[in-house]
A and B are shown apart, each in its own frame.
Chain A
């Protein structure tokens, strides 16, 4: 089974620029999550999708972050404009939504550096 795919792997941008990350979850996984992981900390949930609908975006800084999940499959997370404190690894995870015993599958993440 193919894992969760994310791209790009690394991205360096200047502050105030915009950036977008892409995630392709495991086929058939209804639930998709975006996490932000700052160096030395645990991942922080930004947004959760169930199919193409948003379940929870309470931690998403909506003035600069946006996310969508087209047709309930791929998802894109965008930051515009970026700030220095947005430097982090952005992780995408997916699950069946009834993943008892199997947990969630994470991608390798996109490492964003804002300079």
Chain B
């Protein structure tokens, strides 16, 4: 399973765009890149998943370069409610034997 590296913490202000980069140098051909968000006293929540190039949904965008050795989660115009821990994971999500391994995540703090 590919290991990921992401910043321990980040700070930003309301209304700003926040980009969290994750490094996954050993990503395998079948691996997808998935981001989760976790608030205190809650389980992680799926945000977005991608394989290559760019993926966008109503919550975030995910940018993946051609070599797939890194990815960037982009949160547009953050608000206080985006304060949470964000986890980057890689794995073969399309397999009944797949499992997700969490790192320590990035603790994002949004200030007024």
Contacts and interface: CB of A to CB of B under 8 A. Distances in A.
A33 interface: yes
B93 A100 contact: yes
Contact of A42 (B95, B98, B99, B105): B105
A98 B94 CA distance: 5
B104 interface: yes
A67 to B, nearest CB: 15
B96 interface: yes
Interface stretch (B18-26, B37-45, B74-82): B37-45
Contacts, number: 65
Given A100-B32, A101-B49, A103-B49, A50 B43 contact: no
A20 B100 CA distance: 24
Count class of interface residues, chain B: 20 to 34
A111 B103 CA distance: 20
Contact of A93 (B43, B95, B103): B43
A33 B89 CA distance: 16
A42 B87 contact: yes
Contacts of A99: 93-94
Interface of B: 32, 34, 36, 41-46, 49, 87, 93-105
